A = this chain, B = another copy of it.
Amino acid sequence: MAPEDQNTTLPIVRTVEDLSTIVADWRSGDARVGFVPTMGALHEGHLSLVDHAAGSADKVVVSIFVNPAQFAPGEDLDAYPRTEKTDAAALATRPADLIYAPNAREMYPDGYDLGVEVGGPSQGLETDFRPHFFRGVATVVTKLFLQVKPDIAVFGEKDYQQLLVVRKLTRDLGLPIEILAGATHREWDGLALSSRNAYLSEEERARAAQLYAALNDVAHRLADGEPIDKARDAGWQVLKGAGFKPIDYLEVRDADTLAPLTSLEGEVRILGAARMGTTRLIDNIALGI
């Protein structure tokens, strides 16, 4: 490696074998291994998860894999942005130690036919609109966990239901991995960072932050003592007024189980999903009362 490259490139491996060799070498030196799984198209939200992982681990693996199993036919698998060079350059500025970017054949060999199904928090919300989604997520996360064998893994709170599904999968499989949550990063107007924001037109982008505004409107109303249904309906009107269509859901749920709530008890999470033009956006916030 030329000296001028030393601070600007990260090793990239594409096979489980190469990955295992490097991670085993780290482990032999008693390193604690952190893991941040991504589908690439990295933004500051992802990069902050790398910082988060490095806070609890000696070495950090970042995977980049656009997982076909979590896209349904007609969804944006082909259009999903693939920007590996830019991603690698961004990761080189952060405390990442290795990029694992397997090709689809490495993850799903010929004739592959296995799925991991998690109940509990996977029910409802996203599943009502993307019924295939969490089976695809649980399957690829299981495989990545078995390949990387990390001590900790960091998932973003932006995909809050996914975070709970991954926690459940880790617990139910008995994997010795601690799942950490990374806070959602937002634009100046509150729009949660997402690789899919790149699909928005300038005009759609201007209205997209109303998803976050709607979640906060529900939160303020609940804090003011409004009944859940009424607060939720008001938030729905905010989304409608901003031109979201269709609105998939806007829900007030138990933060641990995602069970529907009839009264505000325990930790509460407000979650929404809606389409702006052709782009489906999701977001969520904690209710802080």
Contact = CB atoms under 8 A, between A and B. Distances in A.
Interface of A: 16, 109, 111-120, 138, 142-143, 146-147, 168-169, 171-175
Contacts of A143: 173-174
Given A109-B171, A146-B174, A174-B147, A116 B119 contact: no
A113 B174 contact: no
A273 to B, nearest CB: 23
Number of copies: 2
A114 B117 CA distance: 6
Given A16-B174, A173-B143, A174-B146, A120 B113 contact: yes
A81 to B, nearest CB: 27
Contacts of A169: 114
A117 B143 CA distance: 14
A114 to B, nearest CB: 4
A210 to B, nearest CB: 35
Nearest to A111: B120
A37 to B, nearest CB: 15
B114 A168 contact: yes
Contact of A146 (B115, B116, B173): B173
Contacts of A115: 116-117
A117 B120 contact: no
A175 B173 CA distance: 14
Contact of A113 (B114, B142, B172): B172
Nearest to A107: B174
A16 B143 CA distance: 21
A100 to B, nearest CB: 13
A119 B113 CA distance: 5
A11 B200 CA distance: 63
